[in-house]
Each structure stands twice: as structure tokens, then as C-alpha cells.
Structure 1
Amino acid sequence: MSTTDETVKLPPVPGGPAPHAPVAASRSASLEARDISAWFGDHKVLDRVSLSMPAQRVTALIGPSGCGKSTFLRILNRMHELIGTASLAGQVLLDGEDIYDRGRRITQARREIGMVFQKPNPFPAMSIYDNVLAGLKMNGVRAGRNERDDLVEECLTKAGLWREVADRLRQPGGALSGGQQQRLCIARSLAVRPRVLLMDEPCSALDPTSTRRIEQTIGELSDEVTIVIVTHNMQQAARVSHSCAFFLAEQGTPGVIVEHGPTDAMFNSPTDERTSDYVNGRFG
């Protein structure tokens, strides 16, 4: 059998089984941060942050700009350490196993914990089809043509993009609109079968229609993959999340979590007055 025809058995895409595969149990995982502190050089940006993010749930990170939410998100899949001056303390547990253990490969952590960024970042000259499959190539996963075709269709469907691009899969991903590019990035993340999907303000630059479609995608995926989203849109946090964590950095101090809990309680009966002021738009 030639290399191009060699196939591997891929687990189901979060959100549903592969078109020709039996239904499989969820592969989502719980994520827990324990006493996370973070620095850029001598500047401390997070101070002993702990948070449990349950499997098959959407956790929203809210709070004013500059309080460490995006830094915390990047720590959750070991992207923080890509910055030369960055350092951290604490643990990040994926189903109870610390992703920062010395024996754990960084590539494995980033495969199991995917990331969708604020600004869509498809490979602009690469086709829509190849964009979806890019993560497989980076991880050394080979699959036959039929399996690749099925995977591309399924991931684009789950990202709410298939109907819009099915007849132009060989066109460049960079030719899509901003909202379509963001959904393409979600499809690309799903193709490597993440157990957790991190989203850093994925709708901040999108129109209301694209935002609504991505929110629908988040809702559809949450049964199968754990989602953690940073958002400054309080209405969005209320719509898409099961729980919220309110970050705050006051008077030049490092960011901390003031309060966290079920989304309904955080918005309607918070225990801290600062949380109430923020979710009701009195500051931030």
C-alpha cells in the first residue's frame, strides 16, 4: 500500500460520529487550573488563580481588558511558554494529569487542547480543504483520500460552513469572509480531535450573523468537547456558557478570579459587588 493510501483509525470529531463510523463515547475532558501565577519578566500578571472547567461544559472567562484572561487561556495549552520572558507556577490538569509534567510532550498537550484565536488565522494561500487537514499533517497523522474527504465535510459541517463552501473547497482559505475564516479555523481545530477547545474572543471582529452562527456551533459542540471562551460580550457569555469566572486586576495588582460559578448565578445573584457592577455594565 502506498503512503498516500495508508489509513489510520481516527476517533470521532467532537459533536458527532464520523459519517461511516460507529457512534463513540465523548472524549471531552475536565480541565483544572491550580494556583496558577504568571509573569512576563518581572511583571506578575496572574496571582494564584484556580478554576475547574468541567467536561462537556462551556466556561466563559469575563473581566476588563488587562486582567489576565487571555494569558490564562494560553497557559491552558502551553502557549504562554512560547514568549521568551514568560514564566509561570502552578498546575494545569487534563483529566487529573498535569500537562506541564516533564514527561509530557508539548505537542500532545496542544493537540488535546486546541485554540481558536481572536483574529482568524487560516493559511491564506492554502485551499479550504487543505486548511482543515493542516493539523493532521503537523501531527504526522496519515489518512486515505476517502477518510480525508469525509473528515473535511464533517468538520466544516460542525463549524457551520459546509453549505457555503462545498463547491469551492480548492479555493484559498484567505478568500473567505472574516466570519467564514473564523469558522474555517474552528473546523481545522476539530480535525485533530481535541478534548478541549479554547476560544479567545472568537467573535469580537465579526458581524451579528457570523457571531450567531459561531455561538450555535459552540452550543452544538459542547456535548462532546469542553469549551473555554474569553469574551467581553456579557450577552454572549450569558447565552453560550454554563459557568463563568470573573477576572479582575485592581490598581496595578496581578489578575485574580473574584468569583466563579454557574452563569445564571453570576449574572443574577453574584456574591461580590464587583461582579454585579461588571456584568451590569457599571465599569469595564
Structure 2
Amino acid sequence: MTSIESTVLLPARPSTAGTLDARAVSAWFGDRKVLDRVSLTMPQGQVTALIGPSGCGKSTFLRILNRMHELIPGAALAGEVLLDGTDVYAPERRLTSARRDIGMVFQKPNPFPAMSIYDNVVAGLKLTGIRASRPEKDHLVEECLGKAGLWREVQDRLRQPGGALSGGQQQRLCIARSLAVRPKVLLMDEPCSALDPTSTRRIEQTIRELAETVTIVIVTHNMQQAQRVSDRCAFFLAEQGTPGAIVEHGPTGAMFATPADPRTSDYVNGRFG
């Protein structure tokens, strides 16, 4: 039987950025609780940075937002994740639909190495069941590579393997691939941690440009980066073996200049973590 996804057509325009709303989200790996009742609104068309020491649940929270956590053996969760008011985990909502709306860019660039640059960009269409004509794909490749800041560098070698690109270019190719399915939200898990300073600056520029049309949630351990790219910050902390939780969240400027909690001040000023 043909699935519903196989009949989906490529949208004529990029999706409007969406608002993500996590409500009382808790998470477990087996018997170990790693997040405790985390609530956070990630507003439409803004960049929200998740900051905090390693092991406090930031990446787990990020994976929960697009239903990757449930794929881990022994993982469990409670609470709600709403995208524009609709429950991402509703029984009638297909996993592929959630992944179309909420894309993901990982810490390490993961293009399909033997696949061409062109085919890397459009790979997500097949995976999520979106049909597009060849002219639509050609336009989409140029559009998404352009938004990812890569078009000018690769427009004459689209048929070369994506694995032949530099690390920074590969990461921007992965961003282009995520954009091709017209997501409302783009999640980024330390996207610059493996990159040189020049590539990092280019990715940061791309993030700020993309925020005009896509909501972005980024995990970063780089406090300067959080200040440069984000509109809002959420500070996660797990103390003395307790599950990760949000200490405070708010506009980035206020979080760094006048945080309400002394633990936030200590962290953003490098006194621990």
C-alpha cells in the first residue's frame, strides 16, 4: 500500500518558522533520570541557545524535540512538545512528518560521502516521502545551498562527492540538506565544535541569516558563540547527581549581563563548567 508520505508534494515556498513549546519534559535512560520537568518556549523566527556544562541534558532535550530520543533502547520520556500548538508526539502524527517540520544538524558533519553534492541536498526528499520534479529539484538545490552559504563555492561541481568537501563545507551541506524539506525548526547540536575558526564564522553567519525564516535551537559550549548568534538562552545544570534542569532562561543580553541566578553568572563568566 502506498504511504501517505509518498504522495506529499514539495511545498511551493519554505514553511513559515514555527514556535516550539516544551512543557514539563522529563527523560530517562533505563532507571536513570536525566531531565526533570524542563519547560521552555522557543519562539518563532528566533535563535535559542542551550548552554550548560557537559552531562546536564542539553543534547537529550534537543533529541526529544524531534523524536530522536524515543529511538534509543531503554529511553523514556514524559511531558509534551508542541509545534505551533500541535503535539509532536500525538499518536496520529507520523514520525516522518515530525522530522520534516523539525530538522537536525549534528555535531559532526554527516553527508553521505559517496553521494554527490546535488544528491546529498535532495536526499531528504526521498527519506520523508516528498515528490519533486527535476526542475523543482534543480531550483531547490541552488536555493538551499545558497541559504547555507555554499552555492558559490560548489556550483560548478555539484556532481562531485559530498565527502570531498572540507569539514566546514560538509557541515553547510548538511544544513542545506536539512533545509530542503522546508522545516519550520532547525535543531543544531554543537555544529561548530569540530570546525576551524573561519568555518565557524561562516556557520554562525548562516545561522543568523536562516533565523529570518526558520526557528533555530542550538546547543553550544562556546559562550561567545551563544552571545553572537542567539536571541534567547536557556541555562541547563545537573548538580550533585540530580537530573538536568533549567536554572533560568531569557533574552541572551540579560542572561549574560544581569542573570537572576548566581549559578548562571558563575557559568557564563567561566567560573565553572
Provide TM-score, normalisation by structure 2: 0.96
The corresponding residue for 1:23 is none
The corresponding residue for 1:133 is 122
Aligned partner (choices 203, 208, 211) of residue 214 of structure 1 = 203
Residue pair 1:123, 1:174 contacting (<8 A) in 2 also:
yes
Shift of 1:12: 2.2
Residue pair 2:60, 2:69 contacting (<8 A) in 1 also:
yes
Residue pair 1:118, 1:200 contacting (<8 A) in 2 also:
yes
Q: Percent identity?
A: 79
Q: 5+ residue gaps in structure 1? A: 1-5, 14-25
In 1: Cα distance, 2:105 partner to 2:219 partner = 11
Aligned partner (choices 40, 45, 50) of residue 51 of structure 1 = 40
In 2: Cα distance, 1:274 partner to 1:69 partner = 17
Residue pair 1:35, 1:91 contacting (<8 A) in 2 also:
yes
Matches within 5 A, 1:98-117: 98-117=87-106
Matches within 5 A, 1:99-248: 99-248=88-237
1:104-137 Cα shifts (integer Å, max 9, x gaps): 1111111100000000000011000000000001
Shift of 1:10: 2.2
Aligned partner (choices 242, 245, 250) of residue 256 of structure 1 = 245
Runs of 4+ residues over 4 Å off in structure 1 = 6-9
Q: 1:224 to 1:196 in 2, by over 3 A?
A: same
The corresponding residue for 1:3 is none
The corresponding residue for 1:18 is none
Q: Which amino acid aligns with 1:11?
A: A
Q: Which amino acid aligns with 2:233?
A: C
Residue pair 1:7, 1:143 contacting (<8 A) in 2 also:
no
The corresponding residue for 2:61 is 72
Is 1:10–2:11 an aligned residue pair?
yes
Give aligned pairs, total.
267
Q: Which amino acid aligns with 1:265?
A: A
The corresponding residue for 2:18 is 29
Q: Which amino acid aligns with 1:12?
A: R
In 1: Cα distance, 2:101 partner to 2:46 partner = 16
Is 1:278–2:270 an aligned residue pair?
no
The corresponding residue for 1:16 is none
